[in-house]
Amino acid sequence: MDRIRITGGNALNGTLPISGAKNAALPLMIASLLTDDTLTLENLPHLADVESLIRILGNHGVDYSVNGRRESQEKGYSRTIHFTARSIVDTTAPYELVSKMRASFWVIGPLLARMGEARVSLPGGCAIGTRPVDLFIDGLRALGAEIDIEQGYVNATARNGLIGNRYVFPKVSVGATHVLMMAAALAKGQTVLENAAREPEIVNLADCLNAMGARIHGAGTATITIDGVTSLSGARHRVIADRIETGTYAMAVAMTGGDVLLEGAEADLLENALETLEQTGTEITRLNTGIRVRRNGGGIAPVDVTTEPFPGFPTDLQAQFMGLMTMAKGRSHITETIFENRFMHVQELARLGAKISLAGQTAVVEGVPVLRGAPVMATDLRASVSLVIAGLAAEGVTEVNRVYHLDRGFERLEEKLSGCGATIERISG
Catalytic residues: 126
DSSP H/E element including 294: strand 290-295
For residue 190, the cross-strand partners are: 227
Q: How far is the CB of 339 from ligand UD1 (least distance, A)?
A: 5
Applying CB under 6 A, among 20, 144, 175, 353 the residue interacting with ligand UD1 is 175
- The DSSP bridge pattern shows strands 258-263 and 290-295 to be antiparallel
Question: Alpha-carbon Rg of the chain, whole angstroms?
Answer: 21
Name the segment binding ligand UD1 (CB under 6 A); options: 55-63, 127-135, 184-192, 325-333. Answer: 127-135
- Could you tell me if 291 and 270 are in contact, meaning their C-beta atoms sit under 8 angstroms apart? no
Which of 143, 174, 267, 293 is in the footprint of ligand UD1 by CB under 6 A? 174
Question: Is residue 136 close enough to count as binding ligand UD1 by CB under 6 A?
Answer: yes
Q: Was 338 annotated as part of a binding site?
A: yes
In angstroms, what is the minimal distance from the CB of 7 to ligand UD1?
A: 30
User: Quick one: which segment of 169-177, 245-253, 384-392, 394-402 binds ligand UD1 (CB under 6 A)?
Assistant: 169-177
Coil/strand/helix, residue 23: helix
| Site membership for ligand UD1, residue 69 (CB under 6 A) | no
Q: How far apart are CA 100 and CA 98, in angstroms?
A: 5
**Does 40 interact with ligand UD1 (rule: CB under 6 A)?**
no
Question: Which residue in the set 97, 135, 260, 261 belongs to the binding site for ligand UD1 (CB under 6 A)?
Answer: 135
* Beta bridge mates, 227: 190, 215
Strand locations in 114-256, DSSP E? 117-121, 146-150, 153-157, 166-168, 190-194, 215-217, 223-227, 235-238
The residue within the footprint of ligand UD1, chosen from 132, 152, 189, 375 (CB under 6 A), is 132
What is the secondary structure of 300-340 as a DSSP string? PPP--EEB-STTSB-GGGHHHHHHHHTTSSSEEEEE--S-T
Spatial distance between the Cα atoms of 342 and 287, rounded to a whole number of angstroms:
33
Q: How far apart are CA 156 and CA 116, in angstroms?
A: 8
Closest CA to 363 of 330, 397, 325, 396: 325
Ligand-binding annotation for 132, yes or no, is yes
**Does the footprint of ligand UD1 cover residue 26 (CB under 6 A)?**
yes
Q: In what order do the strands lie in the sheet with 92-93?
A: 92-93, 117-121, 153-157, 146-150
Q: Work out how close the CB of 182 gets to ligand UD1 at its nearest, in angstroms, rounded to a whole number.
A: 13
171 binds ligand UD1 (CB under 6 A): yes
204 vs 184: CA distance, rounded Å: 16
- Residue 246 CB-density burial (10 A; 0-12 exposed, 13-18 middle, 19+ buried): buried
90 is in an annotated binding site: no
Q: Is 135 annotated as a binding residue?
A: yes
Part in contact with ligand UD1 (CB under 6 A); list of ranges 92-100, 125-133, 228-236, 421-429:
125-133
CA 279 to chain CA centroid, Å, is: 25
**At closest approach, how far in Å is the CB of 173 from ligand UD1?**
3
Residue 242 annotated in ligand binding: no
Give the residue, chosen from 35, 40, 173, 398, that forms a contact with ligand UD1 under the rule CB under 6 A: 173
Q: Is 207 in the site for ligand UD1 (CB under 6 A)?
A: no
Selected binder of ligand UD1 within 13, 23, 104, 384 (CB under 6 A): 23
On whether 227 is known to bind a ligand per the annotation, the reply is: no
50 is in an annotated binding site: no
| Nearest Cα residue to 426 out of 75, 77, 1, 3 | 3
Asked whether residue 134 is marked as a ligand-binding residue, the answer is yes
Crossing angle (nearest 10°) for helices 134-142 and 108-115? 20
State in angstroms the smallest separation of the CB of 385 from ligand UD1.
12
Instruction: Indicate the burial class of 220 (C-beta count within 10 angstroms; 0-12, 13-18, 19 or more).
Output: middle
Residue 209 marked as a ligand binder = no
Minimum separation from the CB atom of position 23 to ligand UD1 (A): 3
Binding footprint of ligand UD1, residue count (CB under 6 A): 21
Between 300 and 319, how does the x/- string for binding to ligand UD1 read (CB under 6 A)? Answer: ---------------xx---
Please, which residue, 83 or 339, has the CB nearer to ligand UD1?
339
Q: Site for ligand UD1 (CB under 6 A): which residue of 338, 349, 387, 390?
A: 338
Q: Which amino acid makes up residue 390?
A: A
Does 131 interact with ligand UD1 (rule: CB under 6 A)?
A: yes
List the binding residues for UDP-N-acetyl-alpha-D-glucosamine: 102, 131-135, 171-174, 316, 338
Please give the residue ranges that form the binding site for ligand UD1 (CB under 6 A): 23, 26, 102-103, 129, 131-136, 171, 173-176, 201, 315-316, 338-339
User: Which residues are annotated as part of the binding site for phosphoenolpyruvate?
Assistant: 22-23
The annotation places the binding site at: 22-23, 102, 131-135, 171-174, 316, 338
